Chain A
């Protein structure tokens, strides 16, 4: 399996997972000790990037087994 190209579906799932994890991770950073408690511009940009990645990932899932 590891020697086959990734499919569009797999890439999409990975992007959704990465986007969701990145978004949650960006929020959790503020809950850690020393966190600022507010969303700064860099953090906001990272969160927007994660949302975009997840949305693009969702649009790839229906493309099925075509190689990515």
Chain B
């Protein structure tokens, strides 16, 4: 066997190993998702409010409401994700599995679209179909293997569906020549924007790319997309008497914490660096030796946009868009490296490189000048090593159960999260403490909290909506929404504090005390703790009117 063939076979064997590991990550993800489908309470803070929004939509009601009157509830999220889930809630009732399975399906679609995008860009003449398919599959699976995508994907949250729409839009626009493709991409972006406001970053990236290619067409496209978006915006705002603007725009102006963003950037690079580096190299290559693709523009804009992760209440999920772009670029980088398909058009950089770097090692210049044989040999091994390095960095696995218990012990992955779960990410402020499998004790704890609500006819003020929905009761208040509005001077809590002072609620259920300060003070004056119930690592405190609490 000659040296080249040895490198090819070594590369193929390592690619197969990488595929096995990534399929393993996929199985862990599926296991986690199906465990969450069966958990009937909030797993991540705020899921219950998204379920309640969906319930309201299934009844034909807007969730953008007056916050200052009973039941003090409004949503701060755009409607599309909940509208899609609403028919299922209408059929099956307010069940968490509905939104969680939609979020999970959204990530699977996203991974498939990433794989398709990479496969479409593979230089076909220079790379065998099975290798192209393997690299494309690894790129899609790398998205699902990300710690961030893993722990946020199967939640009743709209974020990953937003990323799915963004990816669909970008992959559509990447090769659109006619107005039909541009319109389809634009509609996907509008869908992303009406799934979550953060999609404005991808809309900006798409416009920037189209502007680079054809400014006039980009301006027409931008006006069209803005017109569709604005028409929907004005319709909802008029239909809700201005509550849409107040609750989805004004309420989202939060305190910015630079240290949180810095730590999340460092964590993101630490986990995903093995793919960020090739993605960034491809973007630089395009910048100086080729034309910028939409993927490079998207990656750059999404990486800058992830700075919004420093907002209070934001977190690592704000990097999910950059992770999707990263997977596509890294996949294309891998395919081109395997194929040796790098061409360096002569310019001042290549001339400078030739002066600095010895002639034999310098990059080839000119049309059709592919990578030298030695570099191609290295590429066969480098490509799987990139994915294997990434697989090592993003390690995560449950540490209990008939399969994962022995496997995690064999791999020396001991629980490091406070749960039966190993996560290489560690923890920084903003990184969601999720990923573990809910236990029987968590299920029992949830039902115990529900029993407090079911034991009374009076309303209950709960910081999580899920317990109220499980008890078949009306959801009262959306704490973080009230807090955001209060800190922006847009919410007067008098009506709520009056009810609390009058002990109109049979119980108050706290999880993180995210209510506005006057509400917390009113509760402290009129209520006292009667029980503390741990669930999913959080202490749920049950409070009762002080005289009743004293008797208990």
Contact = CB atoms under 8 A, between A and B. Distances in A.
Describe B's contact surface by its main secondary structure.
helix
Interface stretch (B25-33, B208-216, B388-396): B208-216
Interface in B246-293: 256, 258-259, 262, 287-288, 291-292
A67 B212 CA distance: 8
A4 B211 CA distance: 10
Contacts of A59: 288
B258 A42 contact: yes
Nearest to A62: B348
Given A62-B348, A63-B347, A68-B292, A3 B214 contact: yes
A68 B258 contact: no
B286 to A, nearest CB: 9
Contact of A6 (B211, B307, B310): B211
A67 B288 contact: no
A49 interface: yes
B268 to A, nearest CB: 15
Nearest to A44: B258
Contacts, number: 42
A28 B472 CA distance: 55
Contacts of B212: 5-6, 11, 68
Given A6-B212, A66-B345, A42 B256 contact: yes
21 contacts: A2-B214, A2-B219, A3-B214, A3-B216, A3-B217, A4-B214, A5-B212, A5-B214, A6-B211, A6-B213, A41-B259, A42-B310, A45-B307, A49-B304, A60-B288, A62-B347, A62-B348, A63-B288, A66-B345, A68-B291, A68-B292
Task: Give me the 10 closest cross-chain CB pairs, A-B, nearest first.
Answer: A2-B216, A41-B258, A2-B215, A6-B212, A3-B216, A42-B258, A68-B212, A62-B348, A5-B213, A67-B291
Interface of B: 211-217, 219, 256, 258-259, 262, 287-288, 291-292, 304, 307, 310, 345, 347-348
Interface of A: 2-6, 11, 40-42, 45, 49, 56, 59-60, 62-63, 66-68
